[in-house]
Structure 1
Amino acid sequence: MTAPTAFAISRERLMLLLMGLILALGMMSYLTLPKREDPEITIRTALVMATHPGLDLAQLEELVARPLEEATRAIEGVDEIRTRIGMGTVVLEVDLETSVPEAAIPSVFGEIEDDLAALAPTMPEGTRGPLINTDFGAVSIASIALTGPDFSLSEIKDQAEVLRDRLYGKEGISAVEVHGVQEERIWLETRSEAHGNIYTLLPVIAKALQGQNVSLSAGSVLLDGQRMPVEISGELRDADQIADLLVEVPGAGKGARLVRLGDLITVRRGTVDPAERPVFHNGRPAILLSVEMAAGEDITVVGDMLRGELDAFAASLPVGMAAELSTFQPAVVADSVNEALVNMGQTFVVVLFVMLAFIGWRQALIVATIVPLAVGFAFA
C-alpha cells in the first residue's frame, strides 16, 4: 500500500471533509460562474474609414490614407497598420501591440479617435470621416422585434426607444441597439389630376417653404434680473402645417392670389423610399432591438430578467402592437448546461453499475464518486 493511500485510509474523517469541501467549492463556483454562448474575445484591432467619392486612387493615397497612417502610427501602443484603398474609400486596420494591457486598450482606442478627430479638418473638402469602429466584436444575447400592422414604423420606433431606455437601466446589460429605423421625410407629390402648369409653380412653392423655419433673433426681455429670449412662433412642425401653408400664385389679369399648398399638391409624411436595410419579423416590417450583455455576467440570470422586462413592457403596448423575442441565446445556454449535467449523471450511473458487476457495492460507489469529485475539483 502506497503512502498516500495509507494516509487517506488512516484519516477517513479528514478525507470525507476534504471531499465535501471540494464538492461545496465546486458547486459554489458553478453557481457563480459567468455563462454565455460566445466567449469574450479581446479585440485589439480598430477599423478606421474615410470616404471621398471625388478623388482617384492616387489622390486618396496621398491626401487621405497617408495622413491617417502618420497620425495613427505616432500613437504609443500601435503595432501594425494595414491599408486598403478602393473607389472613393480608405480603410485602415490598426492592430495594437500584444504588450498593451487589456485594461488600457479602451484608452488607446480613445487616443486614436481623438487624434483622428483633430486631423479631420485638414482632410480634403468633401471627405467623410475619418470614422473609427472598435465595437465590431460585440455579440448580442437577444433580439426583440416590435411589430404592428396598424402602426407606422415611426410609431413602432417610439415604443422601441422606450424599451431601449428601460433596458439600459438594468444591471447586466451593456448596450441596446435599434435596427430597421428608416429616416423620415416630408413628401410633396403632384396629383394625377393636377393642372398642367403646376410644374411652373414649383419655384414659387420652394420659395415659400424656404421662407419658413428661419431662426431670427427677436430680442430678449429682462425679468427679475434674468434675461429671457423672445422666440417667434410659426415654425412648421408637421405635414399638416406644411399643407396649410399659403402660397402666392400668380393669377391671369387679377394679380397674385393666395392658395393653400395642400390644394395644389399632396403633402404627406413618410420614410425614405426605397427603404434602407429594412427589418422583417414573420414577414412583417419591424423594428429590432439587439441586446448585449456586460462582461462577467451569467447569461441565464440576465435572460430571466430580460424575459420579465419584456413581458411587463408588452402588457403596456397599444392594442395591435407586439414585442416578441426573435433570438434568445440564454435558452440555448441553459439547454447546453442542462445537457452537460445530464451527461455527468449518466456517467456516474454507468460507472457505478459497471463496477457493481465486478466488485462490491462499497468499492463501486467509491469509484463512481470519482466522477462528481473530478468535476467539483475542476470548478473549485
Structure 2
Amino acid sequence: MSITNLAIKYRTSVVVLTLLIMAGGLYSYLTIPKESAPSIEIPTIVVTSIYPGASPDDVESVVTQPIEQEIGGISGIEELRSTSTEGVSSIVVEFTPDVNLDKAYQEVNQAVDRSQSELPDAVEDPSVDEIDTSEFPIMTVNLTASYSLARLKEVAKDLQDKVEGLPSILEANLVGGLTREVRINADLSALSSRGLTLQDLVRTVDQENTNIPGGSIDVGDQSFLVRVDGQFENPADQIENLVVAAPDGKPVYVRDVADVVFGFKDRETYARLQTLQRENAEGAVRPAKTTETRQVISLSVKKRPGDNILDAVENVKETLREADLPSGTGVIVTGDESENVRSLVTDLENNIISGLIFVVAVLLFFMGVRNAVLVGIAIPLSMFTSFIFFQAAGYTFNFIILFSLIIALGMLVDNAVVIVENIYRYHENGYSKLEAARLGTAEVGGAVVAATATTVSVFAPMLFWPGTIGEFMGYMPLTLIVTLTCSGAWGRGGDQSPNQPTTGLAALGGDRGRRVHGTRAGVRQLADAGGAGGGRAAAVLRLREGAQARRRPLHGRGDAAPGGALPELLARHARPRLRPPERAR
C-alpha cells in the first residue's frame, strides 16, 4: 500500500503524527545548542617558541630550523611554513583533510620534544596548539576601576575563577593590568666583601619561601597532617630580614647585601577601551567628548565546544551581576557573539512567519481557505522535522544552517502546491474528497518525488567538497537536502483534503483557480514568489534595521619598528584616527 493510501486510511494517525512532529520540532528548536560558526576540526597545528632578545636571523637559525627538521618527517603534512620575528618563532603545520588530527598532534608534540635538545637554554618551552573554530572568544569582559590597576588585577583574577567555573565556559584569558613582584637588587661588592656569592642569596630566598610537609600525627583514632608554612605573606619585609649566612656567629641579612623593592613586573599585555558615539549634528563617528581612552583589564571568554552560546553568554552575564565587586569597579561587555546568533535566529523566525503569510495569502485567493492552510502547514512542518533531525544527529544551530533554512523557505511549498492543486482538479470533476485525494496524489506523486530528487541531487555533490572549506560549507547542502526531503515526504502523505470554495475571497478566486488547472506552474510560481518574496522582504528590512542598530567592532594592527618597545607602539597608536562614513546624498 502506498504512503498516500496509508495516510488516507489512517487519517487520525496522520493528524496525531503531525501534532507530535510540531511539538517535537518546537522542543528541538528551543533546546538545540546555538553558536555563531560551525564547530569543525581544522587540520592545522601551530608551534610557537619564545627566544627573548634574539634577532629574527638568530631565531630562524637556532630555533625555527631545528624544529622544522624534526616536524618535516611526519607523514600527512600538506604544507609547512614558518615565520621568525624578534624573539618569536611560529611554525604552521597544515595536514591533509583525511589525517587523524589527534595522532598528528601527538606526533608534532614528540617532534618538538626531540628538537629541544638542540635549542638554546634561553628558549622557553615551545607551545603546540590546535586551531578550533569553537575556541574563539564569544565575548570580552572589560573591567574599569577608579582605584589602582594592581588591585583591579586581583579583582579580575577572582572574577576569572568564577567565570571559568561555569560548566559551559572553557576558559577566560586575562589581558592587561599590573602584576606585583618583589625585586632583589643584589650588591655584588657587599656580597664579595662578606665572602658570599649571588647563588648564596638565591638559595636563601628559595629555601625560605616554601611550604614543607611535616608528615602526620596520630592522636587516638584521629590523624592530623602537619605542614611547615614558610611562604611569605609580606614578602618585602620578610625577605629583608632573612639570614644569608652567619660567619663568626654574626648574621648577614638580605638587607645588608641587597635592596628589596616591592614593585611590578614588566608589562607584556595592555588592554584599553575607548567609547565611541554618533554625533547627531554631523552624523560622524568620533570619540565621545565625555569619555577618554581608559586602561582596562579584559577577560576573553571562550565556551566549550557544542554548548549553547546564548546560554553560555547569559550565564557569564548572570555571574557578573552577582559578583561582589569593590566600589568603583565598572564592567563593560564587548564582542558579544550571542547578539549575532540571536539576530540570525530572529531573522529565521521573521522569514518563516512572513513567508507563511505570503504563501497562505496567495493560495487563499486561488484555492480556498482549507487548502491554503494545508499548503501553508508544509513550511513549519518541514522546518520542525528538520530541527528534530539536527538535534538527533548532534548538530548545533549555526549561521550556515540558519542561512540554509532561509534559502530553503521559498522551495518548501512546491510539492504541496502541485499535489493540492491536482486534488482540487479531481474534486471539481465530480470525485469524492477521499477519492480525489487518492487519485490526485497518485497521479503526480512520481513527479513530486522526481522533482524533489532532482533538486536534492543539485546540492548532493557539495557534501563531498574536500578540505576544511568543504567541512565548513557542508552544513548548507545537508540542511537543504534534509529540509526539501521532509517537504516531499509531507507533500505526499499530508495533503488529502480537496478545496471547498466558500464565500468571500475564496469564492472570488474560484473562477481564476479553475482557469489555471491546466497550468499548474501558475499557482506554483505565484506561491513560490510569495514565499521567497516574503523571506527576502523580511531579510532586507532586518538588514536595514541592523545597519542602524548593531554595533560593529573596528580591528586594527600596528607593528613596532625593529627594536621598538611595546609602550612605544602604544604611544604611536594611542588615539585611532576614525574617518566619518560617506553619507548618501
Q: Report the TM-score when normalising by structure 2.
A: 0.49
Aligned to 1:195: none
Matching of residue 297 in structure 1 with residue 297 in structure 2: no
The offset of 1:348, in angstroms, is: 1.3
* Contact preservation (8 Å) 2:153, 2:178: no
Task: Pick closer, same or farther for the CA change 1:54–1:154 going to 2, 3 Å.
Answer: closer
Q: Which has the higher contact order (CA 8 A, sep 6+)?
A: 1
The offset of 1:311, in angstroms, is: 0.6
Q: Give the helix-richer structure, 1 or 2.
A: 2
Matching of residue 269 in structure 1 with residue 263 in structure 2: yes
Aligned to 1:194: none
Task: Pick closer, same or farther for the CA change 1:237–1:129 going to 2, 3 Å.
Answer: same
Distance 1:375 1:312 in 2: 38
Where do residues 1-380 of structure 1 align in structure 2 (5 Å cutoff)? 8-50=7-49, 57=57, 63-75=62-74, 78-85=77-84, 90-101=89-100, 105-135=101-131, 137=133, 138-150=135-147, 152-184=148-180, 214-215=203-204, 237=234, 269-270=263-264, 272=266, 276-282=268-274, 283-313=293-323, 316-380=324-388
Distance 1:28 1:45 in 2: 37
Task: Pick closer, same or farther for the CA change 1:64–1:15 going to 2, 3 Å.
Answer: same
Task: Pick closer, same or farther for the CA change 1:374–1:100 going to 2, 3 Å.
Answer: same
Q: Which blocks of at least 5 consecutive residues in structure 2 are unaligned?
A: 219-223, 243-254, 275-292, 389-585
Q: Deviations over 1:55-79 (max 9, x none)?
A: 784x766644443123223445544
Distance 2:181 2:228 in 1: 29
Distance 2:189 2:360 in 1: 92
Task: Report the residue type matching 1:361 in the other structure.
Answer: V
Distance 1:240 1:162 in 2: 26
Task: Report the residue type matching 2:126 in the other structure.
Answer: P
* Contact preservation (8 Å) 1:217, 1:231: no
Q: Deviations over 1:153-193 (max 9, x none)?
A: 121111111111112222111111111134546689xxxxx
Task: Pick closer, same or farther for the CA change 1:108–1:372 going to 2, 3 Å.
Answer: same
* Contact preservation (8 Å) 1:61, 1:85: yes
The offset of 1:341, in angstroms, is: 1.1
* Contact preservation (8 Å) 2:34, 2:307: yes
Q: Which blocks of at least 5 consecutive residues in structure 1 are unaligned?
A: 189-201, 246-259
SS in 2 for 1:318: coil
CA RMSD of aligned residues (A): 4.3
Aligned sequence identity (%): 24
Task: Report the residue type matching 1:134 in the other structure.
Answer: E
Count of residues in correspondence between the two structures: 340
Task: Report the residue type matching 1:73 in the other structure.
Answer: G
- Range that drifts further, 109-118 or 365-374: 109-118
SS in 2 for 1:108: helix
SS in 2 for 1:295: coil
Task: Pick closer, same or farther for the CA change 1:183–1:169 going to 2, 3 Å.
Answer: closer
The offset of 1:324, in angstroms, is: 3.3
Q: Deviations over 1:92-119 (max 9, x none)?
A: 2112332234xxx345324422441343
Task: Pick closer, same or farther for the CA change 1:212–1:73 going to 2, 3 Å.
Answer: closer
* Contact preservation (8 Å) 2:39, 2:305: yes
Distance 2:61 2:364 in 1: 79
Task: Report the residue type matching 1:26 in the other structure.
Answer: G
Task: Pick closer, same or farther for the CA change 1:143–1:90 going to 2, 3 Å.
Answer: closer
Distance 2:110 2:55 in 1: 25
Distance 1:370 1:353 in 2: 14
Distance 1:76 1:320 in 2: 56
* Contact preservation (8 Å) 1:352, 1:367: yes
Task: Pick closer, same or farther for the CA change 1:83–1:318 going to 2, 3 Å.
Answer: closer
Task: Pick closer, same or farther for the CA change 1:271–1:149 going to 2, 3 Å.
Answer: farther
Q: Report the TM-score when normalising by structure 1.
A: 0.72
